[in-house]
Structure formats: C-alpha cells, structure tokens
Chain A
Amino acid sequence: MDLSFTETQDMLRDTLSRFLADTYDFETRKKMLERPEGRDPGIWRALATELGILSAPFTEEQGGLGGGPLENLIVMEELGKVIAIEPYLQTAVIGGGALKAAGGAMADALIPGIIGGDVIFAFAYAEPKGRYDLARIETTARKDGAGYVLNGHKAVVYAAPWATHLLVTARTGGSGNERGGVELFVVDTKSAGVTRRDYPTVDGFQASEVYFENVAVPGEALLPGGMDLIEQVVDEATMAVCAEGQGAGRQLHELTLAYTKERKQFGQPIGRFQALQFRLADMMIEAEQVASMTLMGTLKLDLPAEQRKAAVSLAKAKVSKSLRFIGQNAVQTHGGIGITVELAAGHYFKRLTMIESQFGPADWHLERYEALTLPA
C-alpha cells in the first residue's frame, strides 16, 4: 500500500496549476463565458500543445504519458480549483477512456487527435426520460448493411457545441432498461441528420439537445463492450467529477475563509464568531472527506465491476452530500453578496451544485451501493 504521488504526477500538477493561475483568473474566465462560442479555444490549444496535458491518461504506445485515473484526478482537481470550462472530462476522460478500453481502428484514428487538441468529444448518453439509469434509453441504432442508422434525442449534452465527435449510447435491440442491446457509438458531429439546439448551462458550460434523424454510421463506429464498457467509462467519469468537486470545494472553502477574516460586523471580523468558526471547521471536514473519497474511488477503479461500482457509488454519494454542504454554507457565510454574480464564490456554488447530480446524486448512488452490498 502506498498513498504518495510520483514525482511525474507532482510535476503534472505543478505545470497545470501554474498555467491555470496565469490564464484562468475569475475576470478572464468571465470574459471567456461572454464570447460567442462561450470559451477561449486558445486555452484548449495550449493545454494540448504547450503543456501536453491531454496526453496524460494515454499509454506510451498511444503517444501518451502512460497515466490513467490518478492523472485524470490531478488534472480535474486543478481544473476544478479555477472552475475551468474546458472539455477535459468529455474528451480525455470519457472519449479517451472509451477508446482506450475498446481499442481498435477507431482508437488508433482518434487518440492522436485528442492528444493534439483537434478532437473534442461530447458524451450523448442522457435522455429526457431516462434520469440516471444508463440503460433506460430509447435512442435506436438499426443495423443497416455493414453500418448502423441512429435515431433519437439526447438530453443536456455538455460540450456538444464545441465537439468534433459525439459518444452516443443507443439500442441495437431490447427495450425499457434492459442491458442487452445497449451499445456505444462514435459519431462525427458533422454527420448528416445530426441537429442540435445549443444553450448555456447554469454552471458556465455550453450544452445541447442533440437529435439524430436517420444518421448513418459505419460498422467500426460501434465500440464493442456494451453496458459493461459504458458503466466502466461512466464510473471513471464519476470519479473525475468528484476530483473536480474536490478542487472546487476546497477553493470555495478557502474563499469563504478569507472572506470571514476580512468582513467586519459588530466591530470585528466575522471569523471571530464561534458560530462561523464551527461552520468553517465543518466545511473543512467535509472538504477533507471529499478528498478521501475521491482518492478511494479512484484507486478502486481497476477492481472487478461489482466492487468498482460499489466503491464509486459510495464515493459519489459522500462527495455529493459534502459538496452541497460546502456550497450552501459558503453562500450563507458570504451573506447577501454570496447570492450575486459579483463574487467568484457564487460561481463555484453553481458548478458544485451541478456536480452533485452529474452521473447520479447521493440517493441514486446509495441505492446502487445498497443493491450491490446489502441483501434484498
């Protein structure tokens, strides 16, 4: 057992954190969000080419740094600290993770593009009526000669307006929430029949409702693995958003702590009051537990499926609860200014709130954990 990061991992963190400190202060981020495309593509380009960050989770044969989930943890935590709106989760963790696991011609073709910054993924898995059950989908993929034809509506696809490729879950058979027949497809966003309705999200990203109308894709668009692969990729993504929440949650605690040392009422800094001291202590305790659970879940991603799922669900349940606690108490401690868009704190609160339910909220994950570990 060894819980220390390697020197290479420390370097990765240092490089990224220095870059983000220079490029992602609150005012700059605000200007990015105001641009027509809702981001600054130059940042992504720099992450790929200047820093080489996008190669972190890929093997050396694939042109990567030979990392995996721990490298994703580091990158996501640092991105979380500045509430970055970069599509690392969708592209490197989810798109890259699926390609890495599936291998084959599609992986060979697209991974170099991810590393170079040219390929951006969006994950089209959610549907208007499916909630968090990954198998409850109605989008179909009908076999047509060597290829497939996709039809359906995918909901709230983060980063879709920026994406070159979509990773789409669709049914080749079965119905309801049957696992059998659910498959994962790589679809070029420019394919005929793909239409989008784009919109900003409350936490600063851009997303789309994506419609597939008789979208023809070749046979190799299907990444073999079905629900097992989809669940593995989503578990990896779940731990990545936990890491993002760890970074954002700690930063929000720091901002709140600094505020209680500056803000004066009744002739003294409000941090002198025990009611607020206890709250700040409790926020720190929650932030520590987020870090502990993020590490636990990440280190257990390579366990057999049942154990992996139980660990990830336990982690996400705790992280969701703790982030809600941190976010709500940060706003309360800031008082009126906390509910305005003026301060960074409110923007952290918004992202943390979306992370709470991303890939399933606490109740959903506790239920999955119970089903896996407690007798019915």
Chain B
Amino acid sequence: MNLDFSPEELAFRDEVRAFIAENYPAQLRGKQDEGGDLSKEDFLSWHKVLAKKGWIAPAWPVEYGGPGWTATQRYIWSEETARADCIRIMPFGITMVGPVIYTFGTPEQKARFLPRILSGEDWWCQGYSEPGSGSDLASLRTRAVLSEDGSHYIVNGQKTWTTMAQHADWGFFLVRTNPDAKQQEGISFLLIDMKTPGITVRPIITLGGEHEVNEVFLEDVKVPVENRVYEENKGWTCAKFLLAHERTGIAGVAASKRGIERVRSIASSEMDGDRPLLANPFFRRKVAELEMDLTALEFTELRTLAGEAAGRGPGPESSVLKIKGSEIQQRITELALEAAGHYGAPYFRGFGEGDNEHPIGPDWAHHTAPSYFNMRKTTIYGGSNEIQRNIIAKMVLGL
C-alpha cells in the first residue's frame, strides 16, 4: 500500500496538465474570471474539446468510448481539472443517463444515443421529481399509457427541479406505467425528445437569482416504445442504479479542494483589523476543520474506489460520500461569505450591455452570497441527506 504515483502515473499527470494548458478554451477562462454566467455554448466548448480527445467520459467502459483509465488516472484527472479551475462537465448525459443506457439499454439504444452523449450533440436533462414527489420519489404520478397497437406511450404529468431543461435536447423520465402495482413496481424509464409536441418548460428562479431549474409540463406527449430503457415497470432498477452512480461523483473532492484554496487565498489578503483574516483564531480554526473533514472525505472516496477496483461496491456506502461531500461544499461557501464581510450584500446582476462601471466591492465577493444561497441545494438534491441516512440505516445497518 502506498500513496505515490508510479512513473507512468506521473507522466500521465504531466500529459493532462499540458493538455489542459494548451486546450482549455480561452474565452471560458476570461468569463470565469469575470464571474459571469455560463451559456450552453460555454459548457459545450470544453465538452467538445474533451470529446475530440476521447477524455469526456473517464468512467465509461472502453467499448462505449471511455478512455480505459485506472482509478488512479481518474483521480489524477479530477485533481488536475480542479487545479486548473476547469468548468464542470454537465452530468446528465455523461454520468447519469449514459451509464444507464450502456448498462440496461438495447444495442439500438446504445448505438443511437451514446455517441451523441459523448460528442455533446445532445444535451440531456433529468425528469424525476414532481411537485408531489420529492424525497418520496416512488410516489410519482406522471402517467404513461401504451397505445393500443403498442407502438408508443402517451405521457401526461408534471416534472419539477429539472436542471438546465431550458437547454435540453433530450430528457430521461421516470413515469408510471402501472398504477395498480406496488409503487416501485409500476415505474418505467423513458427517453423523451424535448422537442416533442406537448412539452412546456417554465423557469424557476432560485435564491441566487439563477435560472438553473425548471418545471416541465407534459401534455399528451407521444413517445415511441423503443425509447423505453429496460423492461416496462422495471424503471426503478435503472433509477436506483443511477442514484448510486450519482452519489459517488457527488463527493466533489477535487472541486472542494479548489474551493478551500480560494478561501485561503482570500482570507490571507483580506484584513481583519491589523492582521489577515486567516490569522483570526476563529476563522483559521474553521479553515483547518474544513481541511480536516475534506481530507477524511478524500480518503473515504479513495477507499471506496480501491474497494470498487477489488470488485466491491459502489454500494450504499456511497451515501456517506454524498452526505459529507455536500456538507463540505456548503461550508466552503459559508466561509467565503463570512470572508466577504459587508461586501457580501451588494447584488451583482452581471455586466449588462454597455456597462463599463466597476461593480461594487472586491471582484471575488460578488458571488459569495449567491453561491452560498445556491449551494443549499446540495444537501437536498440527489436524494436529500435525510434520505441518504435512511439508505444507510436500511441497506448498510439492516435497521
């Protein structure tokens, strides 16, 4: 057992570093520095660079277009992209529906959807939650009825919290196909073209002023039966698989390292009286404890990955990663907002057309409050942290 990188792994790290340095889109870097909102094109610009290189889906099997990296290489990759402050890759295609399709899909579905997920041609969204079905996801009521000739479903209902649906070409939806069966046993997993007539997407604005999430209304939406993944009424199997997948990625260790780095650097230049904020004993203790908990999370993830490589998991233990990872992400934004002091308050709406006045307060402070507000989502989404504790209690502890 050791933590050292082998010469091959070190060479890989250098290769990754050089690739990012040469290929990370310059206009993206500029926008990130200004703290502006990122457009669909911004997200896709980096996605397409990685797709061309064959690095867009680090965890996918080689036969479906993954790069065939070891767990250590994937670790290096996430470290390096965070270190270089690269934007995240939208998870809905690559880490969510992609693995469901290559695990449960038909050969035709794999051939049709996987290459377009990799290339970025299709932008995906997730139709899970409903107004009446949040934590109790299996109670969902969006109804899909098979046509008499068996060629298509007619879908009616409403989904909510649908992230980035305003950009989406496709969505993966959980729908009820058998209202008489036990809750989990009457659900199917459908892939729906978002341009199908009958679909309406309406924005929901969150506390930081962002338009990230939406309501999606489905009214007599016609979905070909070949767009159902896995068997009818077995969609819950896909949903559970996807949730476990989502939870390991959700730890966000590398990005949180970068976040703490940012807080450290802000707090070493911001003054608190005649000393840097980082010398304030209370503030520095919070930074130290955050680093302590992040290190614990990092090694919990490394242990999980090592277990996976040895053929175990990712099982319900990934709930631990979700709980701790989300709490840490929130604490980072909390500290950044504390560091901003008075200048957490001014509401920065972004640079409008022809704006040339410098915004109020230090540049780094503009987004501290919106980020803090926004990140409250992390302990709620992906199965709230209370649901994760239920999973641990039932699946791991047998209670």
Q: How far is the CA of A272 from the CA of B399 in the complex (A)?
A: 6
Q: Determine whether the beta carbon of A295 is less than 8 Å from that of B299.
A: yes
Interface residues in chain B, defined as those with a beta carbon under 8 Å from any beta carbon in chain A? 1-6, 9, 72, 75, 264, 268, 276, 278-279, 284-285, 287-289, 291-293, 295-300, 302-303, 305-306, 310, 317, 320, 323-324, 386, 389-390, 392-393, 396-399
Q: Determine whether the beta carbon of A366 is less than 8 Å from that of B285.
A: yes
Q: Which of B9, B264, B392 is the one whose CB lies under 8 Å from A284?
A: B392
Q: How far is the CA of A96 from the CA of B59 in the complex (A)?
A: 44
Contact with B along A114-140 (1 / 0, CB 8 A): 000000000000000000000000000
* Cβ-based interface call for A7 (8 A): no
Q: Determine whether the beta carbon of B3 is less than 8 Å from that of A299.
A: yes
Q: Determine whether the beta carbon of B389 is less than 8 Å from that of A317.
A: no
- Rounded to whole Å, the gap between the CB of B387 and the closest CB of chain A is 11
- Given the complex, which residues of A lie within 8 Å of B295, measured CB to CB? 293, 296, 314-315, 318
A and B contact pairs by CB, cutoff 8 A, 28 listed: A1-B4, A1-B72, A3-B306, A4-B1, A4-B306, A70-B1, A257-B397, A257-B399, A261-B398, A276-B399, A277-B389, A277-B390, A280-B399, A281-B389, A281-B392, A281-B396, A281-B397, A288-B320, A289-B324, A292-B303, A293-B299, A295-B303, A296-B296, A317-B292, A366-B288, A370-B288, A374-B279, A376-B279
Q: How many A-B Cβ pairs are below 8 Å?
A: 122
- Given the complex, which residues of B lie within 8 Å of A370, measured CB to CB? 284-285, 288
* Cβ-based interface call for A143 (8 A): no
Q: How far is the CA of A205 from the CA of B303 in the complex (A)?
A: 33
Q: How far is the CA of A367 from the CA of B310 in the complex (A)?
A: 38
- Rounded to whole Å, the gap between the CB of B136 and the closest CB of chain A is 14
Q: Determine whether the beta carbon of B303 is less than 8 Å from that of A284.
A: no
* Cβ-based interface call for A80 (8 A): no
Beyond the given A277-B397, A292-B303, please list 16 additional residue pairs across the A-B interface where CB-CB is below 8 A: A1-B9, A3-B1, A261-B399, A280-B399, A281-B397, A284-B397, A289-B324, A292-B300, A296-B299, A317-B289, A318-B295, A370-B284, A373-B288, A374-B264, A375-B268, A375-B279
Of all chain B residues, which has the CB nearest A280? Answer: B397
* Cβ-based interface call for A285 (8 A): yes
Of all chain A residues, which has the CB nearest B301? Answer: A292
Q: How far is the CA of A276 from the CA of B5 in the complex (A)?
A: 42
- Rounded to whole Å, the gap between the CB of B390 and the closest CB of chain A is 7
* Cβ-based interface call for A2 (8 A): yes
* Cβ-based interface call for A369 (8 A): yes
* Cβ-based interface call for A271 (8 A): yes
Interface residues in chain A, defined as those with a beta carbon under 8 Å from any beta carbon in chain B? 1-6, 70, 257, 260-261, 271-272, 274, 276-278, 280-282, 284-285, 288-289, 291-293, 295-296, 299-300, 314-315, 317-318, 366, 369-370, 373-376
Of all chain A residues, which has the CB nearest B296? Answer: A289
Q: Determine whether the beta carbon of B323 is less than 8 Å from that of A375.
A: no
- Given the complex, which residues of B lie within 8 Å of A284, measured CB to CB? 320, 392, 396-397
- Given the complex, which residues of A lie within 8 Å of B287, measured CB to CB? 374
Q: How far is the CA of A226 from the CA of B75 in the complex (A)?
A: 39
Given contacts A282-B389, A314-B295, contact A3 B303 (CB under 8 A): yes
Q: Determine whether the beta carbon of A260 is less than 8 Å from that of B285.
A: no
Given contacts A1-B3, A271-B399, contact A281 B393 (CB under 8 A): yes
Q: How far is the CA of A297 from the CA of B1 in the complex (A)?
A: 13
Interface centre among A3, A271, A289, A317 (most CB of B within 10 A): A3
Q: How far is the CA of A53 from the CA of B166 in the complex (A)?
A: 64
Q: Determine whether the beta carbon of B399 is less than 8 Å from that of A375.
A: no
- Rounded to whole Å, the gap between the CB of B12 and the closest CB of chain A is 12
Of all chain A residues, which has the CB nearest B399? Answer: A271
Q: Determine whether the beta carbon of A285 is less than 8 Å from that of B299.
A: no
- Rounded to whole Å, the gap between the CB of B11 and the closest CB of chain A is 14
Q: Which of A1, A277, A296 is the one whose CB lies under 8 Å from B5?
A: A1
Q: Determine whether the beta carbon of B324 is less than 8 Å from that of A285.
A: yes
Q: Which of B9, B285, B300 is the one whose CB lies under 8 Å from A289?
A: B300
- Given the complex, which residues of A lie within 8 Å of B72, measured CB to CB? 1
Q: How far is the CA of A5 from the CA of B2 in the complex (A)?
A: 10
- Given the complex, which residues of A lie within 8 Å of B303, measured CB to CB? 3, 291-292, 295
Of all chain B residues, which has the CB nearest A260? Answer: B399
Q: Determine whether the beta carbon of A366 is less than 8 Å from that of B292.
A: yes
Q: How far is the CA of A272 from the CA of B394 in the complex (A)?
A: 10
Interface centre among A276, A300, A314 (most CB of B within 10 A): A314
Q: Determine whether the beta carbon of A285 is less than 8 Å from that of B3.
A: no
